[in-house]
Structure 1
Amino acid sequence: MHLPRWARIIFRGIFAIILLIIFAYIGLAWYINTHKKEVLASVTASLNDGITGSLTIGKMETTFLEGFPRVSLRLENVVLRDSLYPTHNRTLLTAGRAEVAINTLALVRGAIEIKKIAISNAVIDLFTDVNGYSNTAIFAKKKTTDKSSGGGGFPELRKLTLDNVSFTADNKKTNKLYKFKVNDLDATIDYNSDGWEAGVDLEGSAQRMAFNTKRGSFIKDKSLDGRFDIIYNEDEGFLTFEKNRLDIGGERFQIAAKLGVGESSKFTINIENNDILWSKAAKLLSPNITEKLMMFDLVQPIAVTCDLVGDFNSAGDPLIYVTAQIKDNVLTTPGGDVTNCNFTGVFNNQNDRKQECTDANSAIILTNFSGTYANLPFVMKKASILNLDNPIALGDFTSNFEMKNLIGLVDADLLKFTNGTASVKVNFRADIENFRLAKPKVFGLVNIKNANVTYVPRKLDFKDISVNLNFTRDNLEISEIILKSGRSIVNMEGSIKNFLNLYYTDPQKIVLEWKINSPQLHLGEFMGFLGTRKKTQAAIKKNRKGNFTDDLNLLFEKSNVDMKLRVDKLYYNNFYATNAKADVLLTDTGVFIKNAGLNHAGGTLVINGSLQQSKVSKYSLDAAINNVDIRKFFYAFDNFGMESMKSENLRGFFSSKANVTGSINDDGKLVPRSMHGLVNFDIKRGKLLNFDPVTSVGKFAFPLRDVKNIEFYNLKGRLDVQGEKVTIHPMQINSSVLNMDIEGIYSFGKGTQIYVDVPLRNPKKDKEITDKDELAKRRNRGIVLHLKAEDDTDGKVKVKLGGKKEE
Structure 2
Amino acid sequence: MPKWLKISLKIVGGVVLLFVLIIVGATVYISFNKAKVLKMVNEQLSKSVDGTLVIGDMKPNFFRGLPNVSITLQNVLVRDKQFEKHKHTLLNAKSFNVSLNTLSLFKGTIDINHIAISDADIDLFTDSTGYSNTAVFKKDNKQVKDNKSESSSATQLKNFSFDDVNFTVDNRKDNKLFNFSINDLKGNMAYPDSGWRANFHLDVLAKSMAFNTKKGSFIKNKKLNGNFSAGYNEDKGIISVKVTPLNIGGDPFIVNAVFRTKKEPTTFTINLVANQLLWKHASNLLAANIQTSLNMFNLDKPIDVTAAINGSFGGGSDPLLYVTAKVKDNKLTIPGGIIDNCNFSGVFTNQYAKNKEISDANSVIKLTKFTGTYNHLPFTIDTGSVLNLEKPVATGNFRSNFPAADLNWFLEDNVAKFSGGTADINLRYRADVVDYKINKPFVNGSINLKNTDLYYLPRGLKLTNTSFSLNFVKDDLILKNIHLQSGKSVVNMEGRVNNFLNLYYDAPEKILLTWQIHSPALYLGEFMGFLSERKTAPKTKSRGNSGNFIDQLGNVLEKGRAEMHMQINKVYYKKFMATDAHADLLTTENGILIQNVGVKHAGGTLKMNGRVTQGDKLNRFAVNTVVSNVNMPEFFRAFNNFALKDFTADNLKGYLSAKTNISGSVTDAGNLVPRSLNGNLDVSLRDAALLNFQPLQGVGKFVFPFRDLKNIQIPKLDAHFIVNGDMITIKPMEVSSSVLNVDVEGVYGLTRGTNIALDIPLRNPKDDFKITDSEERRKKRFKGIVVHVRAHEEDGKIKIGWNKNHK
Fold shared by both chains (TM-score > 0.5):
yes
Counterpart check, 1:89 vs 2:87: yes
Query: Partners in 1 of 2:289 and 2:608 — Cα distance?
Result: 62
How far 1:567 moved relative to its partner?
Answer: 1.0
8 Å contact kept, 2:416–2:454 = yes
Alignment-mate amino acid for residue 202 of structure 1: L
Moved more, 584-593 or 383-392: 383-392
Counterpart check, 1:301 vs 2:299: no
Which residue number corresponds to residue 247 of structure 2?
A: 247
Which residue number corresponds to residue 182 of structure 1?
A: 182
- TM alignment of 1:148-163, pairs within 5 A: 148-149=148-149, 155-163=155-163
Which residue number corresponds to residue 211 of structure 2?
A: 211
Counterpart check, 1:107 vs 2:109: no
Q: Secondary structure at the match of 2:752?
A: coil
Query: Partners in 2 of 1:173 and 1:797 — Cα distance?
Result: 107
How far 1:57 moved relative to its partner?
Answer: 2.7
8 Å contact kept, 1:757–1:803 = no
Alignment-mate amino acid for residue 739 of structure 2: V
Query: Partners in 2 of 1:601 and 1:646 — Cα distance?
Result: 16
Alignment-mate amino acid for residue 125 of structure 1: D
8 Å contact kept, 1:662–1:671 = yes
Which residue number corresponds to residue 278 of structure 1?
A: 279
Query: Partners in 2 of 1:447 and 1:538 — Cα distance?
Result: 30
Moved more, 762-771 or 682-691: 762-771
Query: Partners in 2 of 1:303 and 1:593 — Cα distance?
Result: 63
8 Å contact kept, 1:409–1:548 = no
Match for residue 138 of structure 1 among 119, 130, 136: 136
Q: Deviation string for 1:660-713 (max 9, x for gaps)?
A: 222222212222212222223322333211112221221222112221112235
Which residue number corresponds to residue 687 of structure 1?
A: 689
Counterpart check, 1:739 vs 2:741: yes
Query: Partners in 2 of 1:497 and 1:398 — Cα distance?
Result: 24
How far 1:548 moved relative to its partner?
Answer: 5.7
How far 1:282 moved relative to its partner?
Answer: 2.4
Which residue number corresponds to residue 115 of structure 2?
A: 117
- TM alignment of 1:555-570, pairs within 5 A: 555-570=556-571
8 Å contact kept, 1:756–1:803 = no
8 Å contact kept, 2:229–2:241 = yes
How far 1:303 moved relative to its partner?
Answer: 0.7
Alignment-mate amino acid for residue 312 of structure 1: F
Q: Deviation string for 1:180-220 (max 9, x for gaps)?
A: 22222222222222222222212222222222333332222
Which residue number corresponds to residue 454 of structure 2?
A: 453
Which residue number corresponds to residue 343 of structure 1?
A: 344
Which residue number corresponds to residue 636 of structure 1?
A: 638
8 Å contact kept, 1:47–1:154 = no
Moved more, 239-248 or 146-155: 146-155
Moved more, 404-413 or 566-575: 404-413
Q: Deviation string for 1:394-430 (max 9, x for gaps)?
A: 3333333232332332335642222222333343344
Moved more, 272-281 or 106-115: 106-115
8 Å contact kept, 1:80–1:94 = yes
Which residue number corresponds to residue 622 of structure 2?
A: 620
Which residue number corresponds to residue 40 of structure 2?
A: 42
- Cα 1:515–1:437 change in 2 (3 A) is farther
Q: Secondary structure at the match of 1:531?
A: coil
8 Å contact kept, 1:141–1:151 = no
Which residue number corresponds to residue 360 of structure 1?
A: 361
Query: Partners in 2 of 1:343 and 1:680 — Cα distance?
Result: 74
Which residue number corresponds to residue 675 of structure 1?
A: 677
How far 1:541 moved relative to its partner?
Answer: 9.7
How far 1:17 moved relative to its partner?
Answer: 4.5
- Cα 1:739–1:57 change in 2 (3 A) is farther
Which residue number corresponds to residue 660 of structure 1?
A: 662
Query: Partners in 1 of 2:75 and 2:314 — Cα distance?
Result: 32
How far 1:23 moved relative to its partner?
Answer: 4.4
How far 1:304 moved relative to its partner?
Answer: 0.8
8 Å contact kept, 1:557–1:588 = yes
Alignment-mate amino acid for residue 754 of structure 2: T
8 Å contact kept, 2:602–2:630 = yes
- Cα 1:741–1:40 change in 2 (3 A) is farther
Alignment-mate amino acid for residue 106 of structure 2: V
8 Å contact kept, 2:418–2:453 = yes
How far 1:15 moved relative to its partner?
Answer: 4.2
- Cα 1:609–1:37 change in 2 (3 A) is farther
Q: Secondary structure at the match of 1:314?
A: coil
How far 1:276 moved relative to its partner?
Answer: 1.0
Match for residue 763 of structure 2 among 750, 761, 778: 761
Query: Partners in 2 of 1:362 and 1:324 — Cα distance?
Result: 16
Q: Secondary structure at the match of 1:279?
A: helix
Q: Which runs of 5+ in 1 are unaligned?
A: none
How far 1:89 moved relative to its partner?
Answer: 3.4
Query: Partners in 2 of 1:390 and 1:300 — Cα distance?
Result: 29
Q: Deviation string for 1:49-69 (max 9, x for gaps)?
A: 113332223344444344344
Which residue number corresponds to residue 310 of structure 1?
A: 311
Query: Partners in 2 of 1:463 and 1:106 — Cα distance?
Result: 101
Moved more, 91-100 or 663-672: 91-100
- Cα 1:288–1:626 change in 2 (3 A) is farther
Counterpart check, 1:572 vs 2:570: no
- Cα 1:15–1:488 change in 2 (3 A) is same
Q: Secondary structure at the match of 2:501?
A: helix
Moved more, 407-416 or 212-221: 407-416
Q: Secondary structure at the match of 1:416?
A: strand
Alignment-mate amino acid for residue 105 of structure 2: L
Query: Partners in 2 of 1:475 and 1:135 — Cα distance?
Result: 66
Percent identical pairs in the alignment equals 44
Alignment-mate amino acid for residue 166 of structure 1: N
8 Å contact kept, 2:737–2:766 = no
8 Å contact kept, 2:224–2:248 = yes
- Cα 1:318–1:710 change in 2 (3 A) is same
8 Å contact kept, 1:50–1:152 = no
Q: Secondary structure at the match of 1:409?
A: helix
Question: May I ask how many residue pairs the two structures share in their alignment?
Answer: 801
Which residue number corresponds to residue 520 of structure 1?
A: 521
Query: Partners in 2 of 1:674 and 1:668 — Cα distance?
Result: 14
Moved more, 152-161 or 483-492: 152-161
Query: Partners in 2 of 1:805 and 1:254 — Cα distance?
Result: 116
How far 1:7 moved relative to its partner?
Answer: 4.7
Which residue number corresponds to residue 257 of structure 2?
A: 257
Query: Partners in 1 of 2:308 and 2:381 — Cα distance?
Result: 26
Q: Deviation string for 1:346-378 (max 9, x for gaps)?
A: 112222222222222222222222333333333
Q: Secondary structure at the match of 2:217?
A: strand
Which residue number corresponds to residue 165 of structure 1?
A: 165
Query: Partners in 1 of 2:149 and 2:234 — Cα distance?
Result: 19
Moved more, 395-404 or 760-769: 760-769
Query: Partners in 1 of 2:507 and 2:300 — Cα distance?
Result: 36
Measured on the aligned residues, the alpha-carbon RMSD in Å equals 2.9
Moved more, 260-269 or 15-24: 15-24
Alignment-mate amino acid for residue 167 of structure 1: F
Counterpart check, 1:727 vs 2:729: yes
Query: Partners in 2 of 1:313 and 1:152 — Cα distance?
Result: 35
Query: Partners in 1 of 2:539 and 2:497 — Cα distance?
Result: 26
Query: Partners in 2 of 1:54 and 1:425 — Cα distance?
Result: 73
How far 1:302 moved relative to its partner?
Answer: 1.0
8 Å contact kept, 2:189–2:198 = yes
- Cα 1:66–1:696 change in 2 (3 A) is same
How far 1:245 moved relative to its partner?
Answer: 0.8
How far 1:147 moved relative to its partner?
Answer: 5.2
Which residue number corresponds to residue 223 of structure 1?
A: 223
Which residue number corresponds to residue 485 of structure 1?
A: 486
8 Å contact kept, 2:417–2:455 = yes
Q: Deviation string for 1:368-397 (max 9, x for gaps)?
A: 223333333333332222232333333333
- Cα 1:559–1:279 change in 2 (3 A) is farther
Q: Which runs of 5+ in 2 are unaligned?
A: none
Query: Partners in 2 of 1:501 and 1:339 — Cα distance?
Result: 32
Which residue number corresponds to residue 787 of structure 1?
A: 789
